[in-house]
Every structure is written in structure tokens, then in C-alpha cells.
Amino acid sequence: MREVRRKFVLYAMLAVFILLLLILSIINVTNFTMAAADADAITAMLAENKGRFSEKKNEAPDFAQETPQMPGSAGGTAPGDFSTLPFSPNGFGPMGPDSPETGFSLRYFTVRFGKDGDAKLTVYQIAAVSEEEALAWAQSLKSESKKNDVTGWTHGTYRYRCYTRGDSVFVTVIDEGRELTPSYRILIISLIGMVFGLLISFLFLTYISKRLFKPLEDADRKQRQFILEAEKEFKIPLTVIRADTELIERENGPSDYTSSIHRQVSRMADLNRNLGNLALFNESAPSENCSLSTVFETAASEAASALETAGIRLTAEWTEGITINANPEALKRIADELLDNIGKFAVSDALIRSEKHEGRIILTVSNDCTLPDGSCDNVFDRFIRLANAEDRPGAGLGLSFVKDAVRQIGGRVSAKVEDGRFILQLFL
Amino acid sequence: MKLLFASAERDLLLCYSRLLQTEGREVLTAFDGPQLLSQLSGSPDLIIADAALPRLDTAGLIRFLKNEGIRLILLLNDKKQKNAFRENLPEEAFLSYPFSPEELEEKIRETMNLTLGKAVIS
């Protein structure tokens, strides 16, 4: 359940991030695009007059004589005539291209290239760029512009227009640094806002997910507890049924029916144990450093008599000193399941080997078998039983538990049949 | 051989007392702690008892049997129970539910084949 909650927070954060990024992008791209459009409007206006402001536009209006009127208002201009508005329709405001202040505040230069290609600085109203630099920039921009009337950004915050008037080519470059400053501020503020937004979202989602998932976690815990209690309750009845069946056989002789009872009891006992394993497997169970060889040797000693009865010779090859950080109970159950598997399906011999390879612990459990060669990774799916399991007890849950438990400790499993041996490998 | 089988489960007591009465064995039964203790006067050679027998201090029983040199097989319903008694009992003394009659027979043979000192004393 913790894993589910973690994924919930992760995906929710991803959604918030994408949404914020989208909003941020729309705002800032629009902002910069509009800034570029504003600059282009100014360079277009300059281009009308060969790279300079017209005399008329540079004059300050006489507000005493010309009072701006709303269009259509009494005594004002005709409807639709926006020429006297303080703001032009494209929203530039008092500092737009139509503003008489623009000519005074704009930092720009214009270079004219004659028919023979010689460059002349016709307007130089800028301090940050020297005349030599201005000529060099213009030369470079003219060379790059393949078409007439090309606009673009150059040297960061400078907007240029390259255009032809008559026989001459003009390059006008305006300094948009001051105009772009608010846009950059908006970009930085929106980025900072996005980071804060993400942080606040993360904290909120972490808090809210705890409350949202608590009922689910409680239900999951109760379900596991119920299964574990039920598993315990089933054990004694299964023991009694086995013993009673044995008594019936001793008194009346074995029959197909008593054999059937034995098989079904074994199957139920196996299923019961596996259900308990799956319920016990708890992602929040505490971990500690466990010696792999000790855990498996304990499990092997418990399974020794069963293996001996089945005529299976078990060989163990341990690399000393291998420890693993895992829940000891889960590790013991993994060992029990693997040994139980050997007891059920091995023909005559089995091998358990541990080794370290490139920082990973590899535990190999192999036994001879009657299966055909090939991969059998599906053996880790629940309720899957291979061909040699038809007349053996079990419900197909044991290896499923092993896979889940190994994954919980960050490992993986694989299974294959090769040269008549069933080989299971745990990469821990 | 004289066995004492102790379990609160009456059905289990019934079937195993019959099953164990083979090969000349005498089987005493008990369904709780006080009855088990009273049956000790019958001097059983081996006690097979549920680890969670009602009204029984299992740890105390283990210590007592250790002093008396009486062999014990403890029946476990939960592996956590093993951890509680592992210090005073060898691994061979534990048998988990559900077990088959054959497994119990095997465990009896193992326990009886152990030297007296090892059977109860770890």
C-alpha cells in the first residue's frame, strides 16, 4: 500500500508539474512573442522612413490644443477613429510606436548598404554599441538575411529588421533590453513560483495521500491479519483430517477415497501455507542484516527429513560472509518455499549455491526435473503450475510469493530449464 | 514406550491418541495444563504438547522437564512461538501444524534417538 501511495504522489506531482509548465510556457512564450511583435512594429515604423523616425512623429503633442477624445463622443472624432486615443489599438500604450516619446527613448541604429555594398551608419542613437560594432553587426545580419524584410533577435536583447528601400538595403537594430526586462522578471518570478508551487503541492499531496490511503491501509492490514488468523485456524483441522484418514486406512485398509482425501488435504495445507506467506509478506516489515547461508541452512535442516524420505540429495555451496538486508521472516519463508519446491519436484538431486558477482548476490537453486528445456518465467505467476506438477501437491502460489518477496528487497528472479535441470536464480 | 499427548483440541487428542497406540505404546492424554501436570505422575517417556496449551506455563514446563530429563516435542501453530522457546529446546523438538502422522512418527523417532542430555537440554 505504501508503494501505491508513493506512486499516487509521484503521478499527481507529474500532473501538477506538466500543468504548471504548460501555464508557464503559455504566459512566457506569449510575453516574449508580444515583446518581439512590439519591437517589430517599431522597426516597421522605422523602415517606412528608411530607418529613422519621421519629423512629425518626433514632435510632442500639444495637449493644450489637442485633447484626446473617445471616438464617437460629443465633440470628439468620428466613430472608429482611434488616432487620438492615448493607447493605440495594438495596446502599446503611451510608449508604443505611435507615441511621440518613442523617438526620444528608443536606442537604435540604422546602417544603409548602397548598390556597391558600402555601408553607412545613417542613424546612431545608441551608447552600448560602438559605431564599428554597429557596422559589423549590420554586415553580418545583411549576409544572413536571404529574403527582404527579415526580422529577428541578435546579440541577446537587440531586435533587427533587414529591408530594402529603392536600391539600398537597410539594417535597423533597436535595443529592447529595457523592454525585455519585465519579461525576464516575469519568467524568473514564474519559475520561482513554479518551484514553490511544486513544493507546496508535494507537501499537500503527501499529507492528503496519508489521509486518503489510511482507510485502505487499515483495510489491507485487517485483511492480512484475517488471512493470517484464518491460516492458523486451518492448521489443526487439516492435521485432524489427515490423522483421521490415516486411522480409517489402518482400520479398513487404504482406498481410492482415502487416497483422494490425503491428496486434497496436502493441497489445502499447501494453499493454506502460501496464503499465509502472501499475507505475511508485508512491505513495512522491519529489515535487518541476515546471513544468507544461516537462513538457508536452517531451512535445509528443517526440510532434511522430508528430502531424505523423497530420496533427494541436497548439496549446498555457500560463499561465506554473504549478508543481505531483509526481513528475516520473509527470507526464511523464501528459503522454505524453495526447499519445498525441491522436495516436490526434484527427481534425485538438488543444488543451492550462493555467490557474489559485480556487487550482486546470486542465489541459484537447481534440481533435476522432467521438464523440456526452455524459459519458464511464467512459473512465478500466481496459480501457474508446470507440466510436472500435475500429480504433486500445491496451488501454484509458492514461487509467486518468492518473486514478490525478492522484488520487495530490490532483487529479481528468473527460471529456466536447461539440460534436464530446473534452474531458479535470485538476484539479490 | 509411554507417551503423553496434550492438546486443547479434542478431535486431535482423539485421533492421535488412537494413532499413537501402536507398536505397544501407552498413550496418556491431557487437554490443559493442570491435567498435563497431573499426568506426569504416570512417568511418560515422551511428552507431545501443544505450545499454546491452555493454563500452562510452557516455559516453566520446559525448565521442569529439563531438570527431570523428560523428552518433549512441542507442537507449533505459529513460527513466532518457536522463537520464544528456541533457547531451551533443540531444533528437533519442534513440529509445526499441520503435520501428518508420518511426520509425527519421524519426529518421535528422532527425539527418542537423541541422547537424553540433548533431547531437552540445548
What CATH number is associated with residue B12? 3.40.50.2300
Q: Tell me if A12 is assigned to some domain.
A: yes
Quote the pLDDT of residue A285: 63
| Sequence-separated (6 or more) residues with CB below 8 Å from residue B110 | A305, B92
Q: Residue A171's domain is classified under what CATH number?
A: 3.40.1840.10
Interface of A with B (CB under 8 A): 232, 234-236, 238-240, 242-244, 246-247, 250, 265, 269, 272, 298, 301-302, 305-306, 309, 329, 332
In the structure grid, which three cell numbers stand for residue B43, read together?
512417568
d(CA A342, CA A368): 9
Question: What does the pLDDT look like over A282-339, one tens digit per residue?
Answer: 555 667 888 888 888 888 877 877 788 788 888 888 887 788 888 777 788 888 888 8
Nearest in space to B88 (alpha carbons), one of B60, B116, B52: B60
Nearest C-alpha in B relative to A239 = B98
- Specify whether the CB–CB gap between B108 and B72 falls below 8 A: no
Quote the percentage of chain A above a pLDDT of 70.
Answer: 84
Instruction: State which of A151, A180, A209 marks the end of a domain.
Output: A180
What is the residue range of B104's domain?
2-120
Chain B residues with beta carbon closer than 8 angstroms to that of A232: 77-78
Q: Tell me if A317 is assigned to some domain.
A: yes
Which residue did the predictor score with more confidence, A89 or A158?
A158
Among A188-192, A369-373, B2-6, where is mean pLDDT lowest?
Answer: A369-373
Q: Tell me if A274 is assigned to some domain.
A: no
Q: Tell me if A188 is assigned to some domain.
A: no
Is A164 found in the same domain as A293? Answer: no
How many Cα neighbours within 13 Å face the side chain of A273?
23
d(CA B78, CA B67): 26
Is A13 found in the same domain as A148? Answer: yes
* A235 with B97: Cβ contact below 8 A: yes
Question: What does the pLDDT look like over B57-103, one tens digit per residue?
Answer: 888 888 888 888 888 999 998 877 887 888 778 877 889 888 989 88
Quote the pLDDT of residue B36: 92
Q: Can you tell me the mean pLDDT for A66-77?
A: 44
d(CA B45, CA B26): 10
Residue A192 pLDDT > 60: yes
Is A304 found in the same domain as A168? Answer: no
Q: Tell me if A346 is assigned to some domain.
A: yes
Q: Residue A389's domain is classified under what CATH number?
A: 3.30.565.10
Question: What does the pLDDT look like over A218-243, one tens digit per residue?
Answer: 888 888 888 888 888 899 999 999 99
pLDDT category at A82 given cuts 50, 70, 90 is: very low
Instruction: State which of A162, A180, A198 marks the end of a domain.
Output: A180
Is A149 found in the same domain as A22? Answer: yes
Q: Can you tell me the mean pLDDT for A18-40?
A: 92
DSSP-assigned letters across all residues of A13-75: HHHHHHHHHHHHHHHHHHHHHHHHHHHHHHHHHHHHTTSS--HHHHSPP-TTT-----TTSTT
What is the residue range of A329's domain?
286-428
Q: Tell me if A299 is assigned to some domain.
A: yes
**Strand ranges inside A198-345, DSSP E:** 288-291, 313-317, 323-326
ipTM for the predicted complex comes to 0.82
Q: Tell me if A310 is assigned to some domain.
A: yes
Domain count, chain B: 1
Is A316 found in the same domain as A169? Answer: no
Q: Tell me if A300 is assigned to some domain.
A: yes
Domain count, chain A: 2
| Sequence-separated (6 or more) residues with CB below 8 Å from residue A271 | A394, A395, A397
Is A302 found in the same domain as A168? Answer: no
3-state secondary structure A94-161: HHCCCCCCHHHHCCEEEEEECCCCCEEEEEEECCCCCHHHHHHHHHHHHHHCCCCCEEEEECCCEEEE
* B100 with A242: Cβ contact below 8 A: yes
Provide the residue type at A339 as one letter: L
pLDDT category at A91 given cuts 50, 70, 90 is: very low
